[in-house]
Structure 1
Amino acid sequence: MLSHDKVWAAIDALAAQNGLSPSGLARRAGLDPTAFNRSKRFAGDGRPRWPSTESLAKVLEATGEALDTFAARVGSSTLNTPERPFLVPLLSLSDLADTQSFDAHGQPAGSGWTTFQVPAASSDAFALRVSDDRFLPHYRPGDTIIVSHETPIRLGDRLVVKPFQEPVQLCFLENETPTSLNLMTIGDNSKSMRFQPSAIEWRARIIWASQ
Structure 2
Amino acid sequence: TGEPLKLFVAEIQTPKVQENDGEPWRQLPLSRLAEANGEGFFDAEGAPQGKSWAPMSFPDPKAKGLFALEISGDAMLPLYRDGDVIVVAPEMALRKGDRVVVKQRSQSLSVLLLQQRTETAMEFRPLDQSLPPIRMEHGEIDWVGRIIWASQ
- Common topology (TM > 0.5): yes
Determine if the alignment matches structure 1 residue 204 to structure 2 residue 145. Answer: yes
Query: Using the alignment, how far apart are the partners of 1:188 and 1:115 within structure 2?
Result: 33
The structure 2 residue matched to 1:95, chosen from 23, 30, 35, is 35
The gaps in structure 2 that reach 5 residues or longer are 1-9
More strand as a share of residues: 2
Query: Using the alignment, how far apart are the partners of 1:140 and 1:197 within structure 2?
Result: 30
Determine if the alignment matches structure 1 residue 114 to structure 2 residue 54. Answer: yes
Return the TM-score normalized by structure 2: 0.80
Query: Using the alignment, how far apart are the partners of 1:188 and 1:132 within structure 2?
Result: 18
The structure 2 residue matched to 1:81, chosen from 8, 19, 23, is 19
Q: List per-residue Cα deviations over 1:122-144 (Å, max 9, x = no partner).
A: 12100000011111111001100
More helix as a share of residues: 1
Aligned equivalent of 1:151: 92
The structure 2 residue matched to 1:125, chosen from 57, 63, 66, is 66
1:205 counterpart letter in structure 2: R
Return the TM-score normalized by structure 1: 0.59
Aligned equivalent of 2:133: 192
RMSD of equivalent CA atoms: 2.3
Query: Using the alignment, how far apart are the partners of 1:77 and 1:165 within structure 2?
Result: 38
The gaps in structure 1 that reach 5 residues or longer are 1-71
**Alpha-carbon distance, 1:111 to partner:** 2.8
Query: Using the alignment, how far apart are the partners of 1:176 and 1:96 within structure 2?
Result: 25
Query: Using the alignment, how far apart are the partners of 1:160 and 1:174 within structure 2?
Result: 13
How many corresponding residue pairs?
138
Tell me the secondary structure at the aligned position of residue 103 of structure 1: coil
Percent identity (aligned): 34
Indicate the structure whose relative CO is greater, using CA pairs within 8 Å and at least 6 residues apart.
2
